Amino acid sequence: MLPTIVLVGRPNVGKSTLFNRLTRSRDALVADLPGLTRDRHYGRGMGASQPYLVIDTGGFEPTADTGILKEMAKQTLLAIDEADVIIFLVDARAGLTPQEFTIAQTLRKAQRPVLLAVNKTEGMRKAIVSADFHELGMGEPLSISSAHGEGVRDLIELALETVVEKIAEPAEPVDQDTPRIAIVGRPNVGKSTLVNALLGEDRVIAFDEPGTTRDSIEIALEKNGKHYTIIDTAGVRKRGKVFEAVEKFSVVKTMQAIEDANVAILVVDAKDGITEQDAHVAAYIVDAGRALVVAINKWDGLQDDEREWIKREIDRKLQFLDFAKFHYISALRKKGLNELLASVDVAFKAAMSKLATPQLTRVLGEATTQHQPPITRGIRPKLRYAHQGGSNPPIVVVHGNHVDGIKASYTRYLEGIFRKAFQLVGTPLRVQYNQGENPFDKEDERKKGEGLVTMRRRKNEMRAKLKQRNEQNKTKK
């Protein structure tokens, strides 16, 4: 189970900037304007020694009792309840404020580990600017710059150390041959009805009211002689509508269920069309690297023109799911379920595929022959060979020179080539790069004040000397 880190602080201290840096995204709006973030933002943290979930909150005004500030404070309190560790962000340039004493008092009552981060310290003497914040009594202030990334990695590693006991708990043994399937989607799209239809019994509550399922439920399923583990999750409600205390864990539980699964079935309500929240859930599944099958539910209740409209919406809003199979089903009438499970089997097999190194290297060679990596900073990257680095999702590690200059567009090109070559349907694929050793590494480093032409001339001269020395050695022999 992934640990959850929550960012808390008064308005305009840099929480959303830090969130975007941790998730390597631009999901949270950022501007020099207090109160821009109002709802909670959920994301998957990257760049640390292990994965984690991170939640961005709006500006915290604990004493607010009316209006939008009260609702923002309510959202922050719900996020605090979901936290394994809290990062309390303060502004070095604004200094210590009375609000922050109130926030500190609220965080102490939450009984969660808290790290005090002093933001916006770039270009300042960190020991001096952080000294005043000792008054909060929240431990040693840690100086960072969320905009420039200074001290952020150390802050996150320290935060993860505080919850290491949770991460280190021995997990129950998992049968690698049994697919774990997470049923995810917005509330009231028919997830529990789909689970009951697959099981052939009313195992979970299915009711025409959003939010009936409050927690993730694991159920064993045997179908057509095959075994599965079904995870029915609470609906991912639009963040601004998650107010009930009993629902406060729904989003985090759903995200953790996706992380624990091999395959996710994203259930979409055909009557509502493809909503922004559907796209967000789909994007999180892709970011987590999980195999995916999309079930367009309640298809039987639509007219022909409505069906055509839904298909156009899918092409427009979910085009990034080109690797996934789409099924048009009716969970209530049990239509299309066999085909749905067949696609789950195909996606699971693709996610757990073993890819041979010689085949990967041959496909890589054909791909680079067809389309070479673009030149970056005057040098074209050279890709040598590839091997598999992991499964679920399949990871292809490409070795070569100057791979740090490869652009994201070329990486997507290689991902598509590998997926097509190995017929990997229903699973994302990751391409990672490993810089190979180069005997001319020292030569390739451009000296201070040296131009590109001068550097190349120097390299050619050194290579000529090396060739001459090798020929002389052969002559002596």
- The residue ranges of every structural domain in the chain are 4-168, 180-351, 357-435, 441-476
> 477 a known binding residue?
no
Helix (H) / strand (E) containing 405: none
Q: How many CA atoms lie within 13 A of 39 on its CB side?
A: 12
> 143 a known binding residue?
no
Q: Of the given ranges (126-135, 204-213, 252-261, 307-316), which has the lowest mean pLDDT? A: 204-213
Examine domains 180-351 and 357-435 and report if their fold is the same.
no
**Beta carbons within 8 Å of 344's beta carbon, 6+ residues apart:** 179, 181, 228, 263, 265, 293, 426
> 300 a known binding residue?
yes
pLDDT at position 267 is 94
**Beta carbons within 8 Å of 296's beta carbon, 6+ residues apart:** 268, 270, 310, 314, 326, 327, 328, 329
% pLDDT > 90, the chain:
40
Which among 204, 187, 207 has a CA at the least distance from the CA of 196? 204
> 57 a known binding residue?
yes
> 236 a known binding residue?
yes
Classify residue 245 as exposed, middle or buried by CB count within 10 Å of its CB (0-12, 13-18, 19+): exposed
> 15 a known binding residue?
yes
> 59 a known binding residue?
yes
pLDDT at position 216 is 59
Give pairs for 125-130: CB < 8 Å, separation 24+.
129/92, 130/92
In the structure, what pLDDT confidence band is assigned to residue 72 with cuts at 50, 70 and 90?
confident
User: Which architecture, in CATH terms, is 4-168?
Assistant: 3-Layer(aba) Sandwich (3.40)
CATH fold group of domain 180-351: Rossmann fold (3.40.50)
> 234 a known binding residue?
yes
Contact, 282 vs 292, CB < 8 A? yes
> 438 a known binding residue?
no
> 323 a known binding residue?
no
Q: Which residues of 54-83 are buried (b: 16+ CB within 10 A; e: fewer)?
A: bbbbbbbbbeeeeeebebbbebbbbbbebb
> 233 a known binding residue?
yes
> 12 a known binding residue?
yes
> 25 a known binding residue?
no
pLDDT at position 241 is 46
pLDDT at position 472 is 75
- Tell me the whole-structure pTM to 2 decimals: 0.70
Asked if residue 297 has pLDDT above 60, the reply is: yes
In the structure, what pLDDT confidence band is assigned to residue 203 with cuts at 50, 70 and 90?
low
> 434 a known binding residue?
no
> 189 a known binding residue?
yes
pLDDT at position 436 is 66
Asked if residue 473 has pLDDT above 50, the reply is: yes
Q: Of the given ranges (69-78, 149-158, 313-322, 327-336), which has the lowest mean pLDDT? A: 69-78
**Beta carbons within 8 Å of 107's beta carbon, 6+ residues apart:** 8, 80, 86, 88, 114, 138
State the angle between helix axes of 152-161 and 15-23 in degrees (0 to 180), rounded to the nearest 10: 80
DSSP characters for 133-186?
GGGG-SSS-EE-BTTTTBTHHHHHHHHHHTTHHHHHSPPPP--TTS-EEEEE-S
Q: Averaging pLDDT over each range in 35-44, 292-301, 449-458, which range is the top one?
A: 292-301
The DSSP output letter for 124 is S
CATH fold group of domain 357-435: GMP Synthetase; Chain A, domain 3 (3.30.300)
Average pLDDT, the chain: 82
In the structure, what pLDDT confidence band is assigned to residue 195 with cuts at 50, 70 and 90?
confident
User: What is the pLDDT averaged over residues 367-395?
Assistant: 91
Map residue 397 onto helix, strand or coil. Answer: strand
Pairing type for strands 52-56 and 41-45 reads antiparallel
% pLDDT > 70, the chain:
81
> 232 a known binding residue?
yes
Map residue 198 onto helix, strand or coil. Answer: helix
> 187 a known binding residue?
yes
> 297 a known binding residue?
yes
State pLDDT tens for residues 230-287: 887 765 544 444 444 334 445 777 788 888 899 999 999 999 889 888 888 898 899 8
> 246 a known binding residue?
no
In the structure, what pLDDT confidence band is assigned to residue 448 with cuts at 50, 70 and 90?
low
> 10 a known binding residue?
yes
